[in-house]
Amino acid sequence: CDYILPMHALSPKHKLFVFFPQMERSETVCRYCGVSYLIFHEFHQLHKQLAQLQAELEELREVGQKEKERRKALEVDKEERERALQLQMKRETRSKTQLSLEWLFKVLTADRELSC
């Protein structure tokens, strides 16, 4: 149809399908293109629904992207904490080893002094 009025100009105050059974076929189609007003109305309703679903999809994509970024940040944080924990464990192990060696040295030194 080359001649289409804006939807607000065609939208009646009452739903079209309520009056369709009472109308003649010639009253339910566009004079210019022959398309049923009901189909035209349904097309525009579907078009609105499509736009709404596309907006929801875009919003879900954005939420998904943000969630992906959060997971990545959490993974980086987890790796940093694991590295810090491993470093702390190495330090504690070295410290304990150092203390053990010092204690062993004192015991051996004390044994030598007693045996002399």
Domain annotation covers residue 2: no
Instruction: Look up residue 31 and give its DSSP letter.
Output: T
Pick from 96, 5, 89, 91: nearest CA to 44: 5
Q: Is residue 68 part of a domain?
A: yes
**What is the chain's pLDDT, residue by residue, as a tens digit (116 residues)?**
444 444 445 555 555 555 556 666 666 677 777 777 677 778 888 999 999 999 999 999 999 999 999 999 999 999 999 999 999 999 999 999 999 999 988 888 887 777 76
Instruction: Tell whether 65 is covered by a domain.
Output: yes
Q: Is residue 104 part of a domain?
A: yes
Name residues whose C-beta falls within 8 Å of residue 93's C-beta, 6 or more positions apart in sequence: none
Note down the domain range covering 40.
Answer: 7-115
Does 1 reside within a domain? Answer: no
Domain count of the chain?
1
State the burial class of residue 94 (Cβ atoms within 10 Å of its Cβ: 0-12, 13-18, 19+): exposed
